[in-house]
Amino acid sequence: MLANEETLLRWREASGPLKLGAIDAGVGAYFDALGKSECPGLDDVQAAARAAETTLATKVLTKEWVAAISGVSPPDSGRKAALELSFNAVRPTLRLPSPQDMSELSPVRMGIAALIGAIGGMLILTPLTRVLLDMRDVGLFVGPPVGAFLLVLAVWHSARSDWLRRLLIAAFAVAAIGEVWAIFTGGGILGRLWSQLGGRGSAFKRILLYVAMIFVLVIAKCRPKFDRQEHERLIRSAIEQWLDAAVLALGLLLEPTKEKTSANADAEANLWDLAQKVMELRSFPPDNLSAATEELFQELKNQGFEAGTESPKTFCWQAEHRERYEVFGHVEPGDQVIVERGPVVFQGTVRKKGLVRKLRERT
């Protein structure tokens, strides 16, 4: 466990100086693909994330990163292509957060809504207080702030709710149509109340007011916007986490290659030593050949082979012997067999089975 922790720490420290440049490249690729839109859609964010991931993967597979993590010289073109293929198959997926919606209403449009609401409150409440309370001044005093408050409140909520905006527009449209109908019919069944509210002159003013309110509701929509600075901070954090995982994946892909190269080099060196000792056997005089053979067996034992021990020439065959021997002909448990060829055992593992046959079958 300690060796693994040291290896991970080494990979992290080696890639540390390169990480800042990779983060900047990934963030730049993301925002370049995202563009200057104040309200990017889901497709825009996904395309920008793919662009950032491609840039980061290319950056991590450069010779500087590979050399820093592996601790050896960069691989040749063939091994680099295999490394890229393996890394792209196991690399983590870059998951970036979507921009947080911070849509806002235009202050100018809210001011227009307050102005029209104040005018509307004065036009509607003044005649009502005169008719109902015989106090015209109350409507002039209370109407503007009440009208401004109600229309601003309606605009604020309707800007975030399409169905509420459509409902209010329909209500004001019906009110305007009712005023037009009253103009041509003289007020109908409510003619007396309509005439007390001002008659035709006041009706025209209210129609213009309703039209103005409909116009404010139509234009009073939230302006799409997101905090680019805060979003960039979140993107940098997500990319940094991706790089930590990518370093781990790349290190695991490079480490076996390094170990395998070292193991192959040791095996090759051992092979040359054995070959040299075998070729030297021919130069030994017959009297010293036995000692040279024992030296060769000792070298085999030093390298991990089971050598130098006398195996039985005959033994009673059992089922477990199949792990070390192959049989020639038909042999059943309990039969006496003779060893024709001994097994090759390296570091406790049978690398090549020996050969036995029934004792009675020999001629």
Residue 214 and residue 114 in one domain: yes
Closest by CA position to 66, among listed 44, 81, 48, 46: 81
Residue 363 is predicted with a pLDDT of 44
Gap between the Cα atoms of 136 and 120, Å rounded: 15
Residue 316 and residue 243 in one domain: no
Instruction: Indicate the number of domains in the chain.
Output: 3
Q: Is residue 277 part of a domain?
A: no
- In this structure, the number of other CB atoms found within 10 A of the CB of residue 100 comes to 10
Gap between the Cα atoms of 73 and 89, Å rounded: 23
3-class DSSP state for residue 332? coil
In the block, residue with structure tokens 């509210």 = 197
Residue 153 is predicted with a pLDDT of 84
Q: What are phi and psi of 316, to 5 degrees?
A: -85, 120
| H-helix or E-strand spanning residue 284 | none
Q: Is residue 16 part of a domain?
A: yes
In the block, residue with structure tokens 């477990």 = 320
Residue 112 and residue 192 in one domain: yes
Residue 28 and residue 170 in one domain: no
Residue 125 and residue 91 in one domain: no
Residue 199 and residue 240 in one domain: no
**Average pLDDT per block of 10 residues along the chain, 363 residues long:** 66 82 90 76 82 89 82 65 80 81 70 82 72 67 80 80 82 79 61 52 73 80 72 89 86 65 57 64 67 71 65 82 85 86 78 82 46
Q: Is residue 334 part of a domain?
A: yes
Q: Do β-strands 344-346 and 314-316 pair in parallel, antiparallel, or remain unpaired?
A: unpaired
Q: Is residue 289 part of a domain?
A: no
Residue 231 and residue 86 in one domain: yes
Residue 22 and residue 69 in one domain: yes
Closest by CA position to 243, among listed 84, 75, 91, 86: 91
Q: Are 343 and 324 in contact (CB under 8 A)?
A: yes
Two structure tokens written together for 99? 């921009």
Residue 189 and residue 45 in one domain: no
Closest by CA position to 14, among listed 56, 60, 45, 51: 60
CA end-to-end span of the chain, whole Å? 59
Q: Is residue 71 part of a domain?
A: yes
Residue 119 and residue 212 in one domain: yes
Q: Is residue 184 part of a domain?
A: yes
Residue 90 and residue 140 in one domain: no
Tell me how many degrees the CA angle 276-280-285 measures, rounded to the nearest 5.
170
DSSP 35: T
Two structure tokens written together for 320? 């477990």
Domain that holds residue 152: 107-219
Q: Are 87 and 226 in contact (CB under 8 A)?
A: no
Q: Is residue 233 part of a domain?
A: yes
Residue 208 and residue 146 in one domain: yes
Of 161, 188, 219, the residue at which a domain comes to its end is 219
Residue 265 is predicted with a pLDDT of 56
Q: Is residue 326 part of a domain?
A: yes
Residue 73 is predicted with a pLDDT of 62
Burial class of residue 297, CB neighbours in 10 A (0-12, 13-18, 19+): middle
**pTM of model > 0.85:** no
